[in-house]
Chain A
Amino acid sequence: MTSAAFHPALVLSSASTKPNQAGSPVRVEDRDAIAACQRGEREAFDRLVERYQRDVYRLCYRYVNNHHDANDIAQEVFLKAYRAIGSFRGDSAFATWLYRIAANTCLNFRTARKADTEELSESMPDSARGADDDLMRRERAGIVREAVKRLPERQRATLILKIYHDLTHEEVARILGSSVGTVKANLFHALGNLRKLVGALGEES
């Protein structure tokens, strides 16, 4: 697995991923839209939503493991980003900045909904549909998603950003406001706990 293979900034637009002329980490097409937003052009923000909505939604989905909440949180993330875009200074990629907002929003959501943490997801696959192998795959995916959902906050955040969004350890550390060493240690613990949870949930099902 290479860090460039699934990086959202690369996946979303492979045509123009090089840094801008000033060497800024902000992608060229993002920079234009961000500048327009900072000039007060609301319509320009739509371009950013279109570009990042899938990544933000998926990140949120992995936190909450259901579409309804993921949809609500993802909208909230973009709303927060719009309100704060005047403070975006281009010190990091827009995706990194947006993921930080998303991670914090998810963490706050999870804190508010702590009571639901131990509940099994309603979106567990329906075993009456699909071919057997597809069913098995979906069941397995559902179990893993549920296991991810049950990880401790920091471990879950680290695992989601590192594994599913394929960010570097440094990027994850920047987003979560921690050190690279802490990110690696959290990932190690997350992987260990994930195996245990998947095993336990597999036996339950």
Chain B
Amino acid sequence: MTMFVHLSRARLVEVAEGLGSPRAIRHVADCSACREQVEAAQGALGVAHQADVPEPSPLYWDAFRRQVGTRIASEPPAPRRMAHGLWPTLAAMAAIGALALALAVRQPRPLVVPPPAPMLPAWSALPSADDDVGLIAIEAMAPSAEDLSGVATCHGTYACLGSLSDEESAALAQALREELGGRAL
């Protein structure tokens, strides 16, 4: 014994729109109750199509566009959308970052704290010229004008050596030998 089941509302609409399955159409042909509902729905579809919207004046559409344009002009620029191509890159970067973070959390390493660097003074005042012993040492090392008198006239090492007298050359050689511990030049 088979139970007689009427069509659902969705199936009835499909048949009314001419989109019903062959089985549903056969059912409607055999079932007066469903057929009545399909015919009512088809009648209502016909009624619905009688409601045309009054067409505004052709000038209206230009005015409409202008009004929308004016309102949009007072808006900030439309928010920009990120290009599709950037999403995979960003996703990959986020995945790498998440992986690195996960690894860092899973493998804790002893924290090595470097010894603190010696603190340098942000500013140190120079001693006054009278108290600066460095200036006295520098003055003692500085050659006198007399020492520089001969050197000033020659240009370069070879020129200076060439300008030495025989006695000066012998004295220089002697001084160098003494400096080098008696080794031959």
Interface core residue of B47, B51, B54 (most chain A CB under 10 Å): B51
The tally of CB-CB contacts under 8 A between chains A and B is 124
Residue B40 at the A interface, CB < 8 A? yes
Interface string of A1-14 (1 = CB under 8 A from B): 10000000000000
Tell me whether chain B's interface is mostly helix, strand or loop, or mixed.
helix
Compute how far the CA of A123 lies from the CA of B73 in the bound complex, rounded to whole angstroms: 32
Residue B167 at the A interface, CB < 8 A? no
Compute how far the CA of A188 lies from the CA of B68 in the bound complex, rounded to whole angstroms: 36
**A27-86 at interface with B (beta carbon < 8 Å):** 37-40, 42, 45-46, 49-50, 53-54, 57-58, 61-62, 67, 71, 74-75, 78-79, 82-83, 85-86
Contact B56 A62 (CB under 8 A): no
What's the least CB distance linking A55 to chain B, in Å? 11
Known: A71-B64, A195-B47. A40 touches B53 (CB 8 A): no
Residue B177 at the A interface, CB < 8 A? no
Contact A53 B64 (CB under 8 A): yes
Known: A50-B65, A195-B40. A82 touches B47 (CB 8 A): no
Known: A37-B78, A62-B53. A188 touches B69 (CB 8 A): no
What's the least CB distance linking B61 to chain A, in Å? 6
Q: Which residues of A contact B77 (CB under 8 A)?
A: 40, 42
Contact A192 B64 (CB under 8 A): no
- Given A79-B72, A144-B51, A194-B47, 15 more contacts at CB 8 Å? A1-B17, A50-B61, A53-B61, A62-B51, A62-B53, A78-B72, A79-B71, A82-B72, A86-B79, A87-B79, A123-B54, A184-B13, A185-B8, A191-B41, A194-B48
* For the complex of A and B, 7 pairs with smallest distance between CB atoms: A86-B79, A144-B51, A184-B10, A191-B44, A188-B9, A185-B9, A38-B81
